[in-house]
Amino acid sequence: MRVVSATAPSVAELRAARKNVVGSHFPIHHELADRLVEISGPPGPDGLTQDDFLVAHLLATCAGYAYSDAATLSMIMARMGLGGNRCPEISHDVDVMHICSTVFLVQSRDGRVVIVAYRGTPPEKLLAELAHLARHLPGVVNLPFLPSLDDHFPQRYLARPAPEGVISEFGD
Domain ranges for the chain, please list them.
2-121, 124-159
Q: What integer pLDDT is reported at residue 64 of this predicted model?
A: 93
Q: What's the order of all strands across the beta sheet hosting 86-94?
A: 2-7, 86-94, 99-107, 114-119
Instruction: Classify strands 99-107 and 114-119 as parallel, antiparallel or unpaired.
Output: antiparallel
Q: How confident is the model at residue 172 (pLDDT cuts 50, 70, 90)?
A: very low
Tell me, rounded to whole angstroms, the distance of Cα 77 from its chain centroid: 13
Say whether pLDDT at 156 is over 50: no
Q: What integer pLDDT is reported at residue 154 of this predicted model?
A: 46
Mean pLDDT value across the chain? 78
Note whether 88 and 111 are within 8 A (CB).
no
Q: What integer pLDDT is reported at residue 63 of this predicted model?
A: 94
Q: What integer pLDDT is reported at residue 146 of this predicted model?
A: 45
